[in-house]
Amino acid sequence: MINIVMTFAQLERETIVERVTDNYYFRANNGYWAGGYAPYGYNIKHIIGQDGKKHSVLEIDSEKSEIVKEIFDMYINKNISMRKISQDLNLRKVPTRKGDYNWGVYSINSIISRPIYTEATAKIYEYFNKLGTHITNDIEQFDGGMTANLYGKTKKNVKVKALREYKDMYLSLINCPALISNEDWFRAQQIKGKRKNLPPRSNTSKRSFLCGLVKCGKCGSNFVTQGCKNRYGIKYTYLICTAKRNIGTSICDNKMIEVTKLQDFVLKDMKEYFNSNNINQKIKKYINNKKKINSKVISQKEEFENELTKCDIQIENLINSIADGNAIVSKYINQKIEEIEKQKENITLELKKLKENNNFDNDDYLIEYIKNINEKLNTTDFEELKNICKTVIDKIIITDENIDIHYKI
């Protein structure tokens, strides 16, 4: 019976999501602003459409639109990189859409890439058609009288919307005034094609086996790899704070560190640390601390499980009472069941986090792992070194030239 009620509740949720999604695409396909924040440079204005319903359209923001034009001008005419543009805007205290001063490479790239800023011409149609984008209007309608809005669903397990592929997105004409000429917009796309503007995401670099572990001691951001050349053309790879790289020294002025220098330091320190005379004492202390933590965690785990049992009993009692009530009473009972189901979902999520953050089996594995760590550290295999560091190191804090390694034991 519980499964039946849960199935109907899930169907209702899916119906609501589908209805909202359909409305979103209906507005987008009819030239209205579909929803969400207005693109930088525009404001949302509400109007009454021909169907007598309230709709949203975009109008120019006099101040922010000038910033959009300036961004394009710096990029295509002054040959300034996206990173330098973002740093310049931050230094000048130009507010972002959110009102802060945290311009980054991705925010500049988003502005330069959006077709909404230029006239929707046949050339725009052909450009996105070749990319495999789903275009909802005929090419005859791309006469330059409107602009085009690029939108689409975010893929599952993908947090960054910019990572969506063009073939998974839609392009629709929208009643919105253009800010950039076709010529300048396409020049920007050509420059983008020649430059590698966007840096790799954290913890995906193949240049250092320490990526994902190194943190900035000044602002708390991750350190990521960046290639550089000296005046003789010799290439070096450094680790740099992401806040400094993306936003500039106005946010963080922490120094870069050469990858080979840091890796050599960490490997040497690991050998000394796990071969020190007091390593056995540290292991015993680690085990004792874990036992104390585990007792609290087990108690908390039992509390969550008891709460879940109580929820199941409440739901069962409510289901049994449905048969004794009329339609109105049943409606309120079903609402109560949904509330308890949401409560169950929250408890289950907290229980899952508790188990993930307190993997007891992993504690024993870690102790066994370091017994023959000297043999492991002699490898030159990149992936093996990466695995070793992730297993025994919690984090590495860099503050200018100071290196502070936090071991799990």
pLDDT in tens, 253-303: 999 999 999 999 999 999 999 888 888 888 888 777 776 666 666 777 778
Please report the pLDDT score of residue 359 as a whole number. Answer: 56
Instruction: Write out the E strands in 51-103.
Output: 54-60
In the chain, what are the domain boundaries?
31-194, 203-213+259-409
- Extract the tokens encoding 294: 């585990």
| pTM for this model (two decimals) | 0.56
Please report the pLDDT score of residue 18 as a whole number. Answer: 44
Contact between 240 and 223 (Cβ < 8 Å) = yes
Q: What CATH number has the domain spanning 31-194?
A: 3.90.1750.20
Please report the pLDDT score of residue 19 as a whole number. Answer: 43
Please report the pLDDT score of residue 125 as a whole number. Answer: 95
Instruction: Tell me how far apart the terminal alpha carbons of the chain are, to the nearest angstrom.
Output: 49
Instruction: Write out the E strands in 34-73.
Output: 42-48, 54-60
Q: Which of 252, 84, 108, 212 is nearest to 225 (CA)?
A: 212
Rounded to whole angstroms, the Cα distance separating 109 from 115 reads 12
pLDDT, tens digit (0-9, with 9 covering 90-100), for 308-324: 888 878 777 776 666 55
- The amino acid at 276: S
Contact between 134 and 166 (Cβ < 8 Å) = no
Q: Which residues of the chain have pLDDT under 70?
A: 1-31, 153-164, 195-205, 291-297, 319-332, 334, 355-365
Please report the pLDDT score of residue 184 as a whole number. Answer: 96
Output the DSSP codes for 197-243. Answer: -SPPPTT--SS-TTTTTEEETTT-PBEEEEEEE-TT--EEEEEEEHH
